[in-house]
Structure 1
Amino acid sequence: MKSRTRIKICGNTNLGDLNHTVSCGVDAAGFITNVPVKSPRKIDATVAKQLIGQVPVFVDSVLVIMPEDLDSAMALIAETSPTCVQIHNDLPNSELAIISKTVKLIKTIVIPKDASFEIIDPLIARIEGLIGIADAILLDTGIGSKSGGTGTVHNWQISAEIVRRCKLPVILAGGLTPDNVADAIRQVHPYAVDTASGVETGKSRNPELVRLFIEQCMWADTLSGVAETEVAETGVDDD
């Protein structure tokens, strides 16, 4: 039977939001750190280190970075001590391989919002080059020069085909909200889903949207026939 969909809430900036996210039952908490773009979710390495230190042992802490080179990536990882790093820009596979020897590695793969199905084969070839290096890939939506973090969905049929053909776990991101995440799970069947802006009101984290997002993920899994032992982990029952 299908394993339950894992859940990552990204863009944690303070302890209150982090604690609420963890209490709702996420599998991973993301921290967008020292990225060279404007974002209300960006924090510096000192804050990231403090927050990562508060993440419970059974929840993954994901350092989301866009490093200039291998040395800057390794320095951030050493300073913050996450359980996982998400590389959101392009580094050579040879450098990613070095990083992956020290920490679990997620590599972001961008799917343009207006992408056609012709993009699938080149993306699959790129992903195959990451086998043995990355522990998972994350599919995010690109618009113009923005390589993710757009709060916009892409063509889920493309994502679903990548999931079907890919030998690595696939994390689906890009415009996921409590209103659409259940449909995304049913259509794409990803290993995990990831959101940041989808659980915000304005530029601030909305605790109720976090709860609803996770609830909808669990609901989608029950409809998909998740194994009983997996559902039990989420606390969902028949009452």
Structure 2
Amino acid sequence: MIIQIYAFSNAKDAITAANQGVDQIGFVAGDYGKVHGELSLETSASIVNAVSGISTSVALTMSTDIEEIVAMAQFVKPDIVHVSTDPFDLDVQAMGDLRIRLGPQPQLMKALPVEGNNSIDLAEAFSTTCDYLLLDTKVTGLPGVGATGKTPDWNVSKKIVERVKCPVILAGGLSSDNVLEAIQTVQPWGVDSNTSTNIEGDKVRKDMVRIADFCEAARGNTST
């Protein structure tokens, strides 16, 4: 089971988590004025360099401008670019254009909100242009997809996993308390945690104990 953790704010924490067994290290690459934990491109690149050879680096973008995303990728050089904007801000055709512009590397991930059975067809369409899909939730009034702490419909998520041909990461409200059940229900390729692995009361800094607990639970190594 692949484990992805967001959103790291510095190279030290990122490499500590990588050494704890986190497979994919996520961070917000760029200053968008929209979400917590936004980093300069220089800091983003330092995280990529720190975890290179240990974990996969995943740079989240809130941009809807293909040229801006490509420029970020060329500077930061992540393994994966994670597009977290609303699905219709960068539609399937636009994601296909971005895929061409990025070339074979970095790979491309699209975050999609699970909002009922109509999400299945949407996911299938985006899977034709992306290397990975991330299933999450969307809250009206908040930018982009994800980082809500809310859990998507696991039954619909399971149908998406069964339908699409690319790897699917399940996100949204996952913690050490429910991640194993989520894995057993949905059967995703990977799982993602953001809010539940933060330090209590801090929307940016990561809690290494919570990360370790999440990893153990996701891999079935739990006493509960």
Q: Structure 1-normalised TM-score?
A: 0.81
**In structure 2, do the counterparts of structure 1 residues 40 and 128 end up closer, same or farther at CA, with 3 Å as the change threshold?**
closer
Distance (Å, rounded) in 1 between the aligned partners of 2:65 and 2:108: 15
> Does the CA contact (< 8 Å) of 1:9 and 1:196 recur in 2?
yes
> Does the CA contact (< 8 Å) of 1:182 and 1:220 recur in 2?
no
The alpha-carbon deviation at position 31 of structure 1 amounts to 1.1
> Does the CA contact (< 8 Å) of 1:7 and 1:214 recur in 2?
yes
Cα deviation digits, residues 39-82 of structure 1 (max 9, x gap): 33221111101111111314110010012311000000011010
Cα deviation digits, residues 171-191 of structure 1 (max 9, x gap): 001111111111111111110
Q: State which drifts further: 48-57 or 92-101.
A: 92-101
- After superposition, the CA RMSD in angstroms is 1.9
**In structure 2, do the counterparts of structure 1 residues 69 and 40 end up closer, same or farther at CA, with 3 Å as the change threshold?**
closer
Runs of 4+ residues over 4 Å off in structure 1: none
The alpha-carbon deviation at position 100 of structure 1 amounts to 4.7
1:103 corresponds in structure 2 to 106
The alpha-carbon deviation at position 15 of structure 1 amounts to 2.3
Partner amino acid for 1:207?
A: M
Report 1:71-110 matches (<5 A). 71-89=67-85, 90-91=89-90, 92-101=94-103, 102-110=105-113
**In structure 2, do the counterparts of structure 1 residues 35 and 68 end up closer, same or farther at CA, with 3 Å as the change threshold?**
farther
Q: Which runs of 5+ in 2 are unaligned?
A: none
Radius of gyration: which is bigger? 1
Distance (Å, rounded) in 2 between the aligned partners of 1:86 and 1:35: 15
Distance (Å, rounded) in 2 between the aligned partners of 1:127 and 1:39: 24
Partner amino acid for 1:66?
A: M
1:225 corresponds in structure 2 to none
Distance (Å, rounded) in 2 between the aligned partners of 1:71 and 1:206: 35
1:233 corresponds in structure 2 to none
Q: Structure 2-normalised TM-score?
A: 0.87
Cα deviation digits, residues 127-172 of structure 1 (max 9, x gap): 3333442111000111113321111112211111111222221100
Cα deviation digits, residues 191-239 of structure 1 (max 9, x gap): 0001111111221311110100000011179xxxxxxxxxxxxxxxxxx
Residue correspondences, number: 210
> Does the CA contact (< 8 Å) of 1:105 and 1:136 recur in 2?
yes
Determine which of 137, 149, 154 is the counterpart of 2:147. 149
Identity %, equivalent residues:
29
**In structure 2, do the counterparts of structure 1 residues 132 and 157 end up closer, same or farther at CA, with 3 Å as the change threshold?**
closer
Distance (Å, rounded) in 1 between the aligned partners of 2:11 and 2:132: 27
Partner amino acid for 2:46?
A: Q
Cα deviation digits, residues 78-137 of structure 1 (max 9, x gap): 1101011101113223323324524101111112xxx4xxx32x3232233334421110
Distance (Å, rounded) in 1 between the aligned partners of 2:119 and 2:38: 28
1:70 corresponds in structure 2 to 66
